[in-house]
Chain A
Amino acid sequence: MPASLLWAVDVYGRVYSLSTAGQQWEQCRDAQMEFKRVTAAQQCCWGIACDNRIYLNVYASDLPIRYQEETYENQRWNPVDGFSDRLLPSDRWQWSDVTGLQHQPLDGFQLPSDSWEWEGDWYADENFEGEPTEKEGWTYAIDFPATYTKDKKWNSCVRRRRWLRYRRYKAMDSWAKIPSQETALPDPFSDISCGGWEISEEPRGRLSLWAVTLQGKVWFRDGIYHSSPEGSSWDDVSVPGEVIQISCGPGDLVWAVLWEGQLIVREGIGRDCPKGTSWAVVESPSPDVGAIHVAVGVSVVWAVTKDNKVWFRRGVNSHNPRGSGWISMVGEMITIDVGLNDQVWAVGCEDRAVYFRQGVTSSELSGKTWKAISVPRDGDRSHSSASAASLQSAGCFFSGEVCAPSGASDVESDAERGSVDGAGCPAAAASPGLSVEATADQTSEPPRPRIPKVTSDSFISELVSDREQRKPSRDAGAVAPAVLEVPGEGEDSVPPAGAALSPSQSGGPAGPQWSNVDLEEAQTQQGSTAGAVPDSADTSSLSSVATYTLAVEDPYGADEHPVWAWVSGGGCCVDSHSALSWFSSAGASSLVQSIQSMSLSVSPAQTAAWRRQIFEQLSERTKREMDNFRHYEQAIEQSVWVKKGTMQWWRDWKPHKWIDVHFALEQFSGPDGNKDGILFIYYNQHEEKKYLHAFVNEVTILVPVLNDSKHTFAIYTAERTRQRWPIRLAAATELEMHDWLALLSVSCCDSRALQGPPSKQAIWSITCKGDVFVSEPSAALEAVPYPTPCDQMFWRQVGGHLRVVECNSAGIVWGIGYDHTAWAHTGGYGGGFFQGLASSTDNIFTQTDVKSVYIYENQRWNPVTGYTSRGLPTDRYMWSDASGLHECTKTSTKPPSPQWAWVSDWSVDYGVSGGTDREGWQYAADFPASYHGYKTIKDFVRRRRWARKCKLTTTGPWQEVPPIPLSDVTILPCAAPSGVDVVPVWAISSKGDVLCRLGVTALTPAGSSWLHVGTDQPFKSVSIGAASQVWAVARDGSAFYRGSVSAQSPAGDCWYHIPSPAKQKLKQVSVGRTSVCAVDENGNLWYRQGVTPSYPQGSSWEHISNNVRKVSVGPLDQVWIIADKVQGSHSLSCGTVCHRLAVQPLEPKGQSWDYGIGGGWDHITVRGNAMEPARLRLPSLTGPSSLVPPGPPAVTDPEANGAAVGC
């Protein structure tokens, strides 16, 4: 899991972040101002500073935020000038947008704010729908608006070309002010909450930002998405009362708190309407005490009432955003926040510590206990100097202040006291040490400037007096909301205070207080009215910073707790399993750390020393005690060991069905000392006991098979691979299956004397279930003319769940999950169900993956009721899979296998190819047909797709490479001579950006950072071959060659467009030593002819084969594919590993296919295998084609990728 950040603001308005991988709060030094509140998402953090303006901090990412501005230049032909900018009066503007309606001259484009910069100047786009145009980029048509072509014809009367310019967001990792509204700014902001990123995935990075103003109005920020992080404008959202605080969850939940203490819930929020439509009122949890704070997640709502009690709302989900009832929770908090995964954070009422709710899971959303986060702040560590620094800044801030005496002694123990000491008398240092440090600190950090106050006192007073006139009843509210002198405070985030007073308090002692109080005002007021509050004595322990006694006691007291005011976990990705190092039991982590550093505890080098010592001594012992005595008899004779169990077997004969069998594995030591074994399957046929057996050393693979109800796996031998008919077995439980798989796998590896991690030459592949397999290539695998037959390759499983894997011969392996997460191989093996001996101890990490399951809702139109779910008797199921053949209802559809668990509810999927209407429907004349996203008169049926996300958690030798999700990756296949040589790695982000990974070496396979390679359109596949040849395929199906890529210029300089084969759209490319192969969307495999060092783009595409799903060209120019359909003697398989035979330098296209493991395979990479076979020159009479079934895969039907094994 990549590190993510928890944000918090302390009572001085300083912003801190705590990384899930870190152990201390890092102060956000960049913040020039004090902040009141922050609200975080995964990619950015929003905040309200003390000037009541909204600031945005976008985290720097390797992927820049770029925005493509475009405008069209339009010209018309006339007989005199030829094409010129002289247009007809009825024509469009000479410079316009794509529709021609909007006038858009080049100089009319402005940067939206100071946070942007231009990347370059305008240039004409010379790419038209995947085809290069003539030099100047013109496209021609008969008239505006019409269909444009890139070729000029006799009747081309008009032409246009597209101009492009990119702008880049530059204010990364710093707090940038959101540009003011063009119209009058909504009045000063007091609360802010962002969320809503799960409502829709388009446009990418979309966020909802809700803000509350001092007047209690609610505003919604429009137009926030990845390439427009600041959003575009504020929209007023009418509210039924005056709002004091609002919270927006990752999904469609938005709740707000009203002044009166009720809560309101936004309804009607959806993909098309992120703002929602209306409010519904929910009463406060407690009839007497109003709510003061609310926090929502995906399907939870937490609230805090004015008495600091915490409440959990039962039964909240997107269908019922209001929930059903309140449950009182333990703990007293002043604010609460719900972060990712519905995890809960809060600031404690008593100690102002940040608390984490432990044990929150999807099944137990309310969690178990509160646990205080106890990590030092940066600089706080092991000594109090840093706290002196914080005292110092606080001191500056509060200098000149008169501190009111406290009426209660229980404040003595409060941690804030120390701060006050410093605050009250920065010069009168409590101890010499403190003063020294304070001085030292001043030199390093200039004193903070006085914070300008935006709101004028009169303005506030007016507001408040107005408010009090209108709502006198509020005075009766049990506890007065407090006021903190720090402007970065919100009133609801502060405990009831006694001595701290606001200007308005003169008007009504116990009245609700306005929070945004000018400091000076507060100080003077405080002096005059402190003590006038009746309940000051019993609440003073909760009161705020500046009101404590001046008593100087322990100058180090301030170390104990940072004093927090606000927390936001919206970007903090943890769940109940996360191992966080934030909670030290003693609450004195700094102490522990200092002890550790003093006692010279185990450092990596020393670890190695004791471990090395043990390894060395053990091998010495072996020499000493055993080497000379090998001829001695062993005390224990080896014997046969049998493990038995019961399973179900998919019987070989018809009718095929699962039958109960006894299963046994007999293991013994072979004559040469190798272990071996036999598998037995005992079954009854016609009352007769029979058995089937397989020698363990003949088993080529054990594959877990996808089955939504049974725990099944398949066992292949070379013969069964040829038959396309494995032994299929089902165990009673998942655990039992994993035990068997682990045992059988160890047994198979033992019999082949295979152990430890995969070699650098290993061939990696992935099944459609996401399981990862490796095979150690034999030296003769690429031999000509007698290669090792593919079906004899032995595959063993490696833990993890991936969709794509790529490797090279330096042992660098990358994978990409179904959720597009990038992973780098750690060099380990095992993980998953491989435990104990079949797995390495180090280098195994937790891996998660998420994918969507889709079902279709089908409807037919009838004249009476319109579209209904009543179909014709001949129709498909009204709830079905994509084919319509199987019924799939929302309730009956299960996750793909028991390993997966649902993590979301069903929702309409709008991202279907062909487009949908606003409700997600696609229309067609009849089932099955081609669907379109709008209704016509001829459409009698419609369907829509529902998606539900499921998640899998496993372990494997993979470590995440955050933060950019990828869709393809490629690693230079040549061997790196040493561990420090940088290996080029290229990737395509899930959004189509081309990226180049820097710093990848055999020792640091994950590399260091991404370099963005500019493109004019999104890409989908990339491959780098020998001599840094980089080829890529764009989403429009055309290929590109990247020029001038070298070690010095790892990203190259420009793209050369390579037209795709006629009428075909390419989807994947793979580049070996000299060979370039590509696969198109119709399953054709193409070879690029004429590629030479001087002309690396080559001349033309030549067809090799059809029925190809994926290709991998290796460093020897060997060609391996995943074939769509392969006929075996018993069955047909889809997704089969195939090897091109007779590929030779003079015959790079090879001759025929050899069929390996499958079906059900999705991906293969042979780019690690650089082992040159021993050259054998024989007359080609005994052609390799005699070894294999003749001809290419014979079936031409490109449909139906379903797997023969069902996996």
Chain B
Amino acid sequence: MADDKDVLRDVWFGRIPTCFTLSQDEATEREAEPYYLLLPRVSYLTLVTDKVKKHFLKAMRTEDVEEMWFEYEGTPLKWHNPIGVLFDLHASNTVLPWSITVHFKNFPDSDLLHCPSNSVIEAHFMSSIKEADALKHKGQVVNDMQKKDHKQLWMGLQNDKFDQFWAMNRKLMEYPTEEGGFRYIPFRIYQTTSDRPFIQKLFRPVSPEGNTHTLGDLLKAMYPDALTNDGEQKRYQVVIHGIEPLLETPLQWLSEHLSHPDNFLHICVIPAPSD
């Protein structure tokens, strides 16, 4: 019988096979081979693509190189969203490997944040954790941690150290038993059909009557269109980490087990494949 712990491992060790190709627009000295890599779903693009950068730089002249950015079928990929979210949102139900185009010119300032160094990612990651903890525990847990504990979380993610990360992250996942869950569930709902970056509101894991809130309850409150009514054809898929949990899955459990390392539950609502 599988244990809930296995879910954490599966989530952490989720990988997306990716093929990086250099954009046609880039001027190269010689032809650049595509580069294949297994990307961790829970990490960030700019954090795990040093190898990609090195690979393509070999084919380019230094003066042509500006900040690297990625694009999939015309959509610039926001590095500050976890890789799994980018994939689920833009490329699920497509053929693997995921084909990402690499650019070194014409950085789309209007679409993407700059990422000059890993410390920017770290700052973004840590601020997400703090925001999530503010929702879950009024920030008490993360504030009680020491600097080195924060570092341990970040280093765990950066070096893909599951044990190192979870040794600390479990503290962020604790809650008083009598309350039945966190204060609010840190979640973000992404959709392709809207210009809004994501939906994020206050939502409790347990109703005032003491009932457990489920994924379905959350969507009903936040994004009712995502739900399929009776007799209707399914229009949307609700995807977390590349899977579609049942709508009756308790939200608290999802938050504890299917959150990304930034402690947010990233939920992608994507159009159901037409076939």
Chain A residues with CB below 8 A from B163, complex form? 746, 750, 837
Residues 627-646 of A contacting B (Cβ, < 8 Å): 628-629, 632-636, 638-639, 641
**B1-32 near A? 1/0 per residue, CB < 8 Å:** 01111111011001111000000000000000
- Which segment of B106-114, B126-134, B194-202, B245-253 sits at the interface? B245-253
A616 CB → nearest B CB, Å: 9
Total interface residues on B, CB under 8 Å, equals: 50
Instruction: From B51, B170, B257, give the contact of A635 (CB < 8 A).
Output: B51
Instruction: Please indicate the chain A residues that have their CB under 8 angstroms from the CB of B43 in the complex.
Output: 635-636
- State the Cβ distance, A351 to closest chain B Cβ, in Å: 22
- The answer to whether B243 touches A625, judged by C-beta atoms less than 8 angstroms apart, is no
The answer, yes or no, to whether A618 is at the interface (CB within 8 Å) is: yes
Q: Is the CB of A633 within 8 A of B246?
A: no
Cα of A126 to Cα of B36 in the assembled complex, Å: 87
Question: Please, which residues of chain B bring their CB within 8 A of the CB of A610?
Answer: 245-246, 248-250
Q: Which residue of A lies closest to B178 (CB)?
A: A579
Cβ contact within 8 Å between B48 and A635: yes
Contact stretch, chosen from A206-214, A592-600, A1090-1098: A592-600
Within the complex, the shortest CB–CB distance from B41 to chain A, in Å, comes to 8
CB-contact partner of A618 in B51, B212, B243, B249, under 8 A: B243
Contacts A633-B38, A836-B170, A837-B163; A615 near B6 (Cβ below 8 A): yes
Q: What residues of chain A lie closer than 8 Å to B39, measured between beta carbons?
A: 635
Contact A841 B5 (CB under 8 A): yes
Contact A626 B249 (CB under 8 A): no
Expressed in whole angstroms, the Cα–Cα distance for A596 and B212 within the complex equals 10
Interface residues of A in 571-589 (CB under 8 A from B): 579, 584-586
Cβ < 8 Å to A, chain B residues 38-57: 38-40, 43, 48-49, 51
Partner among A595, A614, A622, A625 whose Cβ is within 8 Å of the Cβ of B245 = A614
Candidates A586, A599, A626, A835; contact of B17 at CB < 8 Å = A626
The segment from A175-183, A601-609, A656-664, A1045-1053 that touches chain B is A601-609
Kindly list chain B residues whose C-beta atoms are within 8 Å of the C-beta of A82. none
Assess whether B139 is interfacial by the CB under 8 Å rule.
Answer: no
Residue of A585, A599, A626, A756 touching B15 (CB-CB under 8 A): A626
Q: Which single residue of chain B is at the shortest CB-CB distance from A602?
A: B212
A638 touches B160 (CB 8 A): yes
**B3, A632: Cβ atoms closer than 8 Å:** no
- Are B37 and A592 touching (Cβ within 8 A)? no
Query: How far does the alpha carbon of A840 sit from the alpha carbon of B49 in the complex, in Å?
Result: 35
B166 touches A836 (CB 8 A): yes
Other-chain residue from A601, A633, A636, A840 in contact with B40 (beta carbon distance below 8 A)? A636
Q: B7 near A618 (CB under 8 angstroms)?
A: yes
- Interface centre among A614, A624, A633, A743, by most chain B C-beta atoms within 10 angstroms, is A614
Shortest beta-carbon distance, B56 to chain A, in Å? 15
Set of chain B residues within 8 Å of A635, measured between Cβ atoms: 37-40, 43, 48-49, 51
The interface bits of chain A over 738-752 (1 if a CB of B lies within 8 angstroms of the residue's CB, else 0) are 000001001000100
Determine which of B38, B49, B158, B211 lies in contact with A595 in the assembled complex, contact meaning CB atoms within 8 Å: B211
The chain A residue sitting closest to B38, CB to CB, is: A632
**Least Cβ–Cβ distance between A171 and chain B, in angstroms:** 40
How many A residues, CB 8 Å from partner? 46
Closest chain B residue to A616 by CB distance? Answer: B243
Query: Which of B14, B158, B209 meets A625, CB within 8 Å?
Result: B14
Q: Does A621 contact B (CB under 8 A)?
A: yes
Using CB atoms, name the residue of chain A closest to B211.
A601
Contact B167 A743 (CB under 8 A): yes
In the bound complex, residues from chain B placing their C-beta under 8 Å from that of A743 are: 167
Interface string of A830-861 (1 = CB under 8 A from B): 00000111001110000000000000000000
When distances are taken between beta carbons in the complex, the residues of chain A under 8 Å from B210 are 584-585, 592, 596
Contact A836 B243 (CB under 8 A): no
- Beta-carbon contact of B38 and A626 below 8 Å: yes
- Residue A617 lies at the interface, judged by CB distance under 8 Å to chain B: yes
From B243, which residue of chain A is reached at the shortest CB distance? A617
8 Å CB contact of A634 from B2, B38, B97, B245: B38
Give the residues in chain B near A596, CB-CB below 8 Å: 210-211
- Once bound together, how far apart are the Cα atoms of A601 and B246, in whole Å? 14
Which residues does chain B contribute within 8 Å of A626, judged by CB atoms? 14-15, 17, 38
Q: A residues within 8 A CB of B249?
A: 610-611, 613-614
A634–B245 Cα distance when bound, in Å, is 27
Tell me the complex Cα distance, A941–B113, Å.
87
Q: Which residues of B contact A638 (CB under 8 A)?
A: 159-160
- Mark out the residues of chain B between 132 and 181 whose CB falls within 8 Å of any chain A CB in the assembled complex: 158-161, 163-164, 166-167, 170, 177-178
Query: B242 within 8 Å of A by Cβ?
Result: yes
In the bound complex, CA of A613 to CA of B16 (Å): 21
User: B155: nearest residue on chain A (CB-CB)?
Assistant: A641
Q: Is the CB of B244 within 8 A of A617?
A: yes
* Most chain B beta-carbon neighbours within 10 Å: one of A621, A635, A636, A641: A635
B80 contacts the other chain (Cβ, under 8 Å)? no
Question: How far is A584 from B209 in the complex, measured between Cα atoms in Å?
Answer: 10
Residue interface mask B184-211, A partner, CB < 8 A = 1: 0000000000000000000000000111
Q: In the bound complex, how far is the Cα of B211 from the Cα of A584, in angstroms?
A: 13
* Chain B residue at minimum C-beta to C-beta distance from A827: B1
Known interface pairs A633-B51, A636-B40, A837-B5; A602-B250 also in contact (CB < 8 Å): yes
B96 at the A interface (CB under 8 A): yes
User: Cα distance A602–B43 when bound, in Å?
Assistant: 33
Whether A601 pairs with B159 at a CB distance below 8 angstroms is no
| Contacts A595-B209, A614-B7; A636 near B96 (Cβ below 8 A) | no
* Cβ A840 vs Cβ B3 within 8 A: yes
B241 contacts the other chain (Cβ, under 8 Å)?
yes
Chain A residues with Cβ under 8 A from B166's Cβ? 836-837
In Å, the complex CA distance between A595 and B209 comes to: 9
Nearest CB on B from A775, distance (A): 22
Q: Say whether A622 contacts B211, CB under 8 Å.
A: no
B68 to chain A, nearest CB (A): 15
Complexed CA–CA distance, A746 and B167 (Å): 11
The answer to whether A621 and B178 touch across the interface, beta carbons within 8 angstroms, is no
Partner of B3, one of A592, A595, A622, A841: A841
A199, B2: Cα distance in complex, Å: 50
- In the bound complex, residues from chain B placing their C-beta under 8 Å from that of A601 are 211-212
The proximity string for A residues 224-262 relative to B, scoring 1 for CB distances below 8 Å and 0 otherwise, is 000000000000000000000000000000000000000
Partner of B177, one of A579, A614, A617: A579
The CA-CA distance from A586 to B210 in the complex, in Å, is: 10
| Minimum Cβ distance to chain A for residue B36 (Å) | 5
Chain A hits for B15, CB < 8 A: 625-626, 629, 634
Q: Which of A617, A629, A842 contacts B96 (CB 8 A)?
A: A629
Q: In the complex, A595→B37 CA distance in Å?
A: 51
Cα A1071 to Cα B209 in complex, Å, equals: 56
Nearest A residue to B19, CB-CB: A632
B37 with A599: CB separation less than 8 A: no
The answer for the CA separation of A606 and B249 in the assembled complex, in Å, is: 9
Whole-angstrom distance between the alpha carbons of A939 and B92 in the complex? 91
Expressed in whole angstroms, the Cα–Cα distance for A959 and B110 within the complex equals 59
Q: Let me know if B211 and A621 touch, CB within 8 A.
A: no
Contacts of A837 in B (CB 8 A): 5, 8, 163, 166-167, 170
Q: List chain A residues, Cβ under 8 A from B7.
A: 614-615, 618
Contact B248 A632 (CB under 8 A): no
Residues in chain A near residue B38, CB distance under 8 A: 626, 629, 632-635
Q: Which 10 A-B pairs have the closest CB atoms?
A: A629-B17, A617-B243, A635-B48, A836-B170, A636-B160, A610-B249, A610-B246, A618-B10, A632-B38, A621-B242
A601-B212, A613-B245, A634-B15 are known; give 6 further A-B pairs, CB within 8 A: A584-B210, A615-B6, A634-B38, A636-B40, A743-B167, A841-B3
Which residues does B use to contact A, with CB under 8 Å?
A: 2-8, 10-11, 14-17, 36-40, 43, 48-49, 51, 96-97, 158-161, 163-164, 166-167, 170, 177-178, 209-212, 241-246, 248-250, 257-258
- A sample of 15 cross-chain residue pairs with beta-carbon separation below 8 angstroms, ordered by A number, consists of A596-B210, A596-B211, A602-B250, A610-B246, A617-B243, A624-B242, A625-B96, A625-B242, A629-B97, A636-B160, A746-B163, A750-B163, A756-B3, A835-B170, A837-B163
